Amino acid sequence: MQGDEFWARLREGKVVLGACVMYPAPGIIEGMCEGWDWLWIDMQHGQYDYGTVLHAVRTASSVGIAPIVRPATHDYGLLGKCADTAPTGLMVPMVNTPEEAQQIVNALRFPPLGMRSYGGRRPIDLCGRGYYQESELLVMLQIETEQAARNAECIIGTDGVDALFFGADDIRVRLGLPINIPVVESKELQRPMAKMADAARKAGKFCGCVAADPATLRVALDMGYQIVVGGGDVGFLRTVAAAKLEELRQVVGGGKS
Amino acid sequence: MQGDEFWARLREGKVVLGACVMYPAPGIIEGMCEGWDWLWIDMQHGQYDYGTVLHAVRTASSVGIAPIVRPATHDYGLLGKCADTAPTGLMVPMVNTPEEAQQIVNALRFPPLGMRSYGGRRPIDLCGRGYYQESELLVMLQIETEQAARNAECIIGTDGVDALFFGADDIRVRLGLPINIPVVESKELQRPMAKMADAARKAGKFCGCVAADPATLRVALDMGYQIVVGGGDVGFLRTVAAAKLEELRQVVGGGKS
Amino acid sequence: MQGDEFWARLREGKVVLGACVMYPAPGIIEGMCEGWDWLWIDMQHGQYDYGTVLHAVRTASSVGIAPIVRPATHDYGLLGKCADTAPTGLMVPMVNTPEEAQQIVNALRFPPLGMRSYGGRRPIDLCGRGYYQESELLVMLQIETEQAARNAECIIGTDGVDALFFGADDIRVRLGLPINIPVVESKELQRPMAKMADAARKAGKFCGCVAADPATLRVALDMGYQIVVGGGDVGFLRTVAAAKLEELRQVVGGGKS
Amino acid sequence: MQGDEFWARLREGKVVLGACVMYPAPGIIEGMCEGWDWLWIDMQHGQYDYGTVLHAVRTASSVGIAPIVRPATHDYGLLGKCADTAPTGLMVPMVNTPEEAQQIVNALRFPPLGMRSYGGRRPIDLCGRGYYQESELLVMLQIETEQAARNAECIIGTDGVDALFFGADDIRVRLGLPINIPVVESKELQRPMAKMADAARKAGKFCGCVAADPATLRVALDMGYQIVVGGGDVGFLRTVAAAKLEELRQVVGGGKS
Amino acid sequence: MQGDEFWARLREGKVVLGACVMYPAPGIIEGMCEGWDWLWIDMQHGQYDYGTVLHAVRTASSVGIAPIVRPATHDYGLLGKCADTAPTGLMVPMVNTPEEAQQIVNALRFPPLGMRSYGGRRPIDLCGRGYYQESELLVMLQIETEQAARNAECIIGTDGVDALFFGADDIRVRLGLPINIPVVESKELQRPMAKMADAARKAGKFCGCVAADPATLRVALDMGYQIVVGGGDVGFLRTVAAAKLEELRQVVGGGKS
Amino acid sequence: MQGDEFWARLREGKVVLGACVMYPAPGIIEGMCEGWDWLWIDMQHGQYDYGTVLHAVRTASSVGIAPIVRPATHDYGLLGKCADTAPTGLMVPMVNTPEEAQQIVNALRFPPLGMRSYGGRRPIDLCGRGYYQESELLVMLQIETEQAARNAECIIGTDGVDALFFGADDIRVRLGLPINIPVVESKELQRPMAKMADAARKAGKFCGCVAADPATLRVALDMGYQIVVGGGDVGFLRTVAAAKLEELRQVVGGGKS
């Protein structure tokens, strides 16, 4: 799924299922991503930096999966540099106030909405010098604190913001919930998650979250979530590596063989 | 498991379970390898080169899993350069004759067994300038063609060779078998696999193979295989990513959601 | 031309012709830059990051062309890190107010003018520990918005700022002009361009711009511009690659051969 | 043009126009290659190594230009590693005898034609585990010495070889011709060039050469050449950079401005 | 010495001797660091960036020396990214006010002390998803200006700050002292150095400095400094390389041999 | 000292003092190499690969020290690729027979002496397309076994070979001498060392060795050695780091502080 189809599906009210990559080897994208709709390339908590993101965005394009980059920072210039890799979108973490939302719009939208600097190499190389008037960039902001949850309406209401993304783990930490408690077992978690989705819907915009199992996904769909992360390289690797090891150890016999 | 423990287990007749990495992001090793005994770092068909292997060997050491590097070539100097990364061992692919076996011993063993060049930076940095008299390097050669299978006894009989490793996929290709046929369903595959193990046992040495499911593993153990590869980054990623996607698509409903 | 000669020419009122590199392969510098006076290494819209800039600055020095780095950010620490690569100068984008100018001076000038941190590895390696008292660093700020154009006098008036650079493309975007309109055909573009040059001249300082064709260059020289960018890797590649392709397609005959 | 279309055009007797890249920045491919049919990625005399080739092949795919990699070596294992990046083809330099041709076929073709090792990560990731029975890899060998020219018929006659490529510069050096003498002005150069084309045609196979100007191209087409290199990053950069500099220096006035 | 032992020694009132690395080749760590207690990996004035820091932290762990990273910036997101490499600590340069100290605590401490974002890949890979409740991260702030020295008590008094580090070179620059004047010869330097140590002691916290010779070290120990930098790659290399060259030139005879 | 001066000194019968780098961070070259005549960049036992060698050769040039690269292999194509980085020379390890010497000449000398392939990017970028007729490349072969010592006259007698280099460590290993025995204390070591120098002198060519202390250097000069390695990054770092640590531990008091 390339960027155009990604947008089309969102606008038709459909769901887009994404996978996350945190380890910066583009081969992972070729090996793992068949069939997924979009790819979350993580510079914040994953091990990507600018150079490896550029390779990853290209690789995602070459295998037809829409790349969305998560930068680590709100810095105007560094956000612009991420946008200049020409991904389908950016997911910006830890946005707590409408002022921060506006600051991010300033970095990512061209005038008059924002103050993004013109001239990104890859957008021009791929789309020509008129890219600033044409290409679409999904601007998705993460709601990850109680303050952010309270400000969700104003944040999504900021012109130039397209979507919100629910940061469940940081909310768990801030609410003092067990870090592995499932969404379906915690009303405290569902409350801000539903509230955020409402804010997005009222604004006529989109919302996303992680939903890596059927039960969570059902809850999320019911709330109106369309941009869904179903898993990622690290989770896939850890789960199955541990299970496989256990399975084989049984055959060998005894603890650590 | 560090190198010493790896050798100890082999000599006690026990099994060592290994995982393979093909995508050159050392984080994968930290994320995936807990509990496994050894790590196969693949420069031949995987996407590792010298620089990334050096990082991977260090990372494996730092998390306590014994690294075994598979180089792509038989070139004397390049084999030596791989050995100088100071892994637990090297697995050399496509060794078809005892002459080739001797050539590899020349590159990897110091005199009098071979002609390896002295001075590797990492061995000296970690073990001191006397490393050439002390450190153990597993030299494991891959049997992957019919010619190699016929020569297995002479190859393992070469002084300085420690182990053989059965290359099932290349044997399948050469015998014209379906590429995915399980070991347990193919006598044609079991025959050279057993013959190779016999050769190793008679020489008082070791043998290894891929055995990524309980049935194959049981067969391998019965034949005397001790060095076992239970899976790898790519297999883990593909399998579980596809299964997860399928599972979530069901909830979303309809083909590609 | 090394840094000393670069400064000498500026002070003699002469013009320095520069080329821009956006693709991070230092070989380009060796292959393309013979005869040019200075090199613009672009971290903002080009595909350079810290590591590749460090290589590029070294390569520029080794072939005798004065390197000027454009960072992506105004962050105090990251600006200092760029300065520590020991280029001839820094061109800082999107400076709109004298407050921002002062903030950049703080990052790039040692006390008493600013608050730059002492200890850069490359300056010390090349010039000794007294480098902070001796070495010259061109601090050039980009005027790229209407606000910046209005503030040009105050910005260039800031102690520690050496030059202004006219960002024509961003001005075009902000004024709603066609992105490819030539300077010579647009009074709206010439007005801030001339005003900026006046501000620099009145302050006894320097100014620069892109002037990649004779007509634009003549206009720029008349306005007093001395620091001129005549082209860059990407433009050179695109233009001649397309022309060559067209030329050869003619011989082959028919559309896409 | 992807690999399938590349092959289709060759088989229809049409010409494919290629560009060469020697500087390892994948952005060059995005910036320069629009409209060209194929891309020569040079590991021999260019500045690519394994890691950067892998990025370049991916980038070429993502912008739809068929990548052909030129390795530096004839080493069995390293050739296989290049083939495992899954390019459209390999151009192997300095093949002087049919024995060398067979050695290269051994490295690049699966049994029964050769002895290539199965398991390349990228071919499997993109095409599945049956790739060895399906995917096409252009094996093109370079004729660059008088000995090679004499052996051209036997070399192209080797089963598994698809094409020959004329190495004009090395022939010039070996014949003692001026290194810049045009093909059209040198009968001594045209003779082996025509002979090589004849050998390819008689064998029902293909041939290629550099033809960076209309006159050379016409000669080459008349001889039956279909795989044509029209230029490359370095030539484009040098030519136009020097011309542009000259043009601007004129305006500035005086020698070096 | 791993992180646990590092903390234990500090708490017992003992000294930890550290070495600094500025050149980003992890082999240096393996070759140079035996016996040292901790390692200062310098992103500010050294030539490390994110990718090379990640390799360096891993290498330090693998050879048992506690890594402390010095970032270049105060940016919330980028500080978090450094913390996510899972070092023993961070040394943050140029902290002049308690407000800045709080801002850094916000980036590096989880709630309730700060606002650090949860999810760092390496901490989870090594310690599990509960790492935010368990792992210790030394937060050490650098006092490098007169303003900072005046604010030392408030800065170290900030909850979440563990230690101060005296930046002698920047203090020398700001006080207009000779850049190479030894601590023992300058009361002006000793005064803020002692004052800073007092502030740390009163707060029940720790303090550090560079002390690369016995005389300086004695002064520092008397003041209560426990976290000591004894030298670094560059100093070691320069000193001995120059001495060795001089020694050998003597034998060869005459100036430059 | 650039290449020209390096050759001039050799031809005047003077000594050139070189330093070795094994850790691939070009900053080391800038920080350590002032005053040395040439630089040995080690791909065999050091941690350099093609990409980092290219950076190192450029850096050496930019600080005016003549780079000599030691490749790991004798492979024709890979040797050519090293030569194409345009160093002052290549030092090829483990040359045991005149046949091997000729094979290396084939890879490194243009016709008629050898069969080197024309077209190296960096030589052309720096010297123009006529470089093959002009530039000088020192071809130095290492004598490191008893067989090689016996063949020294024939090896140095090979047309196209400029110098021999004595590999003392590998000779020690092969003769069963203690690995750290000084040259001055071992007649067994001096014998082949003198014999090799004689062979070079008789052939009117040059010879080199490691001589990192005055006593060894005196012996080497007396034998006629002109190309001398006085030390290297790793030795400098280890020696002084350990001495410094010891010195400081004394002050702190007690074993490991």
Q: Name, in order, each residue with C-beta under 8 angstroms of F72's C-beta and a sequence gap of 6 or more.
A: B77, B78, B80, B81, F43, F44, F93
Interface of B to D at Cβ within 8 Å reads: 22-23, 42-47, 49, 51-52, 71-75, 93-94, 144-145, 169-170, 172-174, 179-180, 234
Q: Which of E118, E132, E134, E135 to mutate to test the interface with A (most CBs of A within 10 A)?
A: E118
Q: How confident is the model at residue A116 (pLDDT cuts 50, 70, 90)?
A: very high
In this prediction, residues D204-228 reach a mean pLDDT of: 96
Angle between helices A98-108 and A76-83 (to 10 degrees): 50
Q: How many residues does chain D have?
A: 257
Which chains does chain C touch, 3 or more C-beta pairs < 8 A?
A, D, E, F
pLDDT value at F257 more than 70: no
Select the residue of D42, D43, D169 nearest F118 (Cβ to Cβ). Answer: D169
C47-82 residues labelled b (16+ CB within 10 A) or e (exposed): bbbbbbbbbbbbbbbbbebbbbbbbbbbbbbbbbbb
Q: Which residue of A has its CA nearest to B1?
A: A256
D–C touching, 3+ CB–CB pairs within 8 Å: yes
Residue of F nearest to E20 (CA): F241
- Asked if the model's pLDDT at residue F66 lies above 50, the reply is yes
Please state, in angstroms and rounded to a whole number, the distance separating the CA atoms of residues C251 and F194: 66
CA distance F87 to F69: 7
**Exposed/middle/buried for residue D65 (C-beta within 10 Å: 0-12, 13-18, 19+):** buried
Digit-coded pLDDT (tens) for D92-144: 999 999 999 999 999 999 999 999 999 999 999 999 999 999 878 999 999 99
The answer for residues whose C-beta is within 8 angstroms of residue D251's C-beta and 6 or more apart is: C214, C217, C218, C221
- Report how far residue E165's alpha carbon sits from residue E225's, in angstroms, rounded to the nearest whole number: 9
The pLDDT of residue B241 is: 84
For residue B116, pLDDT over 50 is answered with yes
Among F111, F125, F129, select the one facing D179 at the smallest CB separation: F129
Mapped onto helix, strand or coil, the DSSP state of residue C175 is helix
Mean pLDDT calculated for residue range D236-241? 84
Compute the nearest-CA separation of D84 from chain B (Å). 7
pLDDT per residue as tens digits for the range B8-60: 999 999 999 999 999 999 999 999 998 999 999 999 999 999 999 999 999 99
Interface size between A and B, measured as CB pairs under 8 A: 137
Cβ contacts below 8 Å, chain A against chain C, sum to 63
User: Rounded to whole angstroms, how far apart are CA atoms C162 and D63?
Assistant: 42
Look at residue F18 and tell me whether its pLDDT is greater than 90.
yes
Question: CB pairs below 8 Å between B and D: how many?
Answer: 64
Provide the 8-state DSSP code for B16.
E
Alpha carbons A124 and E217: distance in angstroms, whole number: 57
pLDDT value, residue F256: 43
E227-232 and E206-210 strand pairing: parallel
CB atoms within 10 A of CB F126: 18
User: In the prediction, which pLDDT does D235 show?
Assistant: 87
DSSP states along B136-193: --EEEEEE-SHHHHHTHHHHHHSTT--EEEE-HHHHHHHHT--TT--GGG-HHHHHHH
In angstroms, the CA C153 to CA C202 distance is: 8
> What is the ipTM score, two decimals?
0.92
Q: How far is A44 from chain C (nearest CA, A)?
A: 17
How close B51 gets to chain E, by Cα (Å)?
11
Chains that touch E (3 or more CB pairs under 8 A): A, B, C, F
* pLDDT at residue F255, as a whole number: 44
State the average pLDDT for chain F: 94
Considering CB atoms only, which of B17, B239, B248 is closest to A245?
Answer: B17
d(CA E256, CA E234): 23
**Using CA atoms, how far apart are residues B194 and B198, in angstroms rounded to an integer?**
6
Work out the pLDDT band at B251, boundaries 50, 70, 90. Answer: confident
Quick check: E169 and C119 CB within 8 A? yes
d(CA A253, CA F93): 49
* Dihedral sign for Cα atoms in the order E9, E12, E17, E23: positive
| Closest Cα in chain C, distance from residue E4 (Å) | 30
**pLDDT band per the 50, 70, 90 thresholds, residue B85:** very high
For residues A147 and A154, the answer to whether their CB atoms sit within 8 Å is: no
Residue B184, Cβ neighbours under 10 Å: how many? 13
What's residue F254's pLDDT? Answer: 53
Q: Is F16 within 8 Å of F211 (Cβ atoms)?
A: no
| Contact between chains at F94 and B76 (C-beta distance less than 8 A) | yes
Percent residues over pLDDT 90 in chain A: 87
Residues of B in contact with F174 (CB under 8 A): 111
Q: What digits encode the pLDDT tens for the residues C153-176?
A: 999 999 999 999 999 999 999 999
C-alpha D71/C-alpha C87 separation (Å) is 35
Q: What is the pLDDT of residue C257?
A: 40
Query: Is pLDDT of B254 > 80?
Result: no
Percent with pLDDT over 70 in chain E:
98
Residue C126: pLDDT over 60:
yes
pLDDT-wise least confident of A78-87, A189-198, A227-236, E46-55: A227-236
What's the confidence (pLDDT) of residue A255?
Answer: 44
- Residue range F81-108: mean pLDDT, rounded: 98
Do the beta carbons of residue B26 and residue B54 sit within 8 Å? no
For residue F230, report the phi and psi dihedrals to the nearest 5 degrees: -95, -10
Burial of C195 (0-12, 13-18, 19+ CB in 10 A): middle
Name subunits touching D (3+ CB pairs < 8 A): A, B, C, F
Any idea what DSSP says for residue B117? Answer: P
Q: How far is CA C75 from CA A77, B215, F66, in A?
A: 9, 59, 38
pLDDT of C254 over the 70 cut: no
Chains that touch A (3 or more CB pairs under 8 A): B, C, D, E
Q: Residue A125: which of D30, D55, D126 has the nearest Cβ?
A: D30
Q: Which residues contact C58 (CB under 8 A, 6 or more apart)?
A: C26, F26, F30, F55, F58, F59, F62
Residue D253 is predicted with a pLDDT of 82
Percent of chain F with pLDDT over 90: 87
Position E257 scores a pLDDT of 40
Residue B161 has pLDDT above 60, yes or no: yes
- Nearest CB neighbour to F230, from listed E233, E234, E248: E248
Residue closest to C249 by CA, chosen among B61, F229, D35:
D35
* Strand bridging mode E38-42 / F227-232: unpaired
Contact F94 B115 (CB under 8 A): yes
pLDDT confidence of residue D1 = 79
Q: Which pLDDT band holds residue B91 (cuts at 50, 70, 90)?
A: very high
User: Which residues of chain D have a CB within 8 Å of the CB of F49?
Assistant: 49
pLDDT computed for residue A15 by the predictor: 96
Among A43-52, C137-146, D125-134, F191-200, name the one with the lowest average pLDDT.
D125-134
Q: What is the pLDDT of residue F248?
A: 84
CA distance F212 to F146: 23
Measured between beta carbons, the chain B residues lying within 8 angstroms of F46 are 121
Helix pair angle (A76-83, A50-63), 10° resolution: 30
Per residue in F151-174, pLDDT (tens digit) is 999 999 999 999 999 999 999 999
Distance from CA of E12 to the nearest CA of A (A): 32
Q: What number is the average pLDDT over the span D43-69?
A: 97
Our answer on whether C and B touch (3+ beta-carbon pairs < 8 Å) is no
pLDDT of residue B257: 41
Query: Cβ separation of D230 and C248 shorter than 8 Å?
Result: yes
Nearest residue on chain D to C256, judged by CA atoms? D35
The per-residue pLDDT for range B218-247, each reduced to its tens digit, is 999 999 999 999 999 988 888 888 888 898
- Please provide the average confidence, as pLDDT, over all residues in chain A: 94
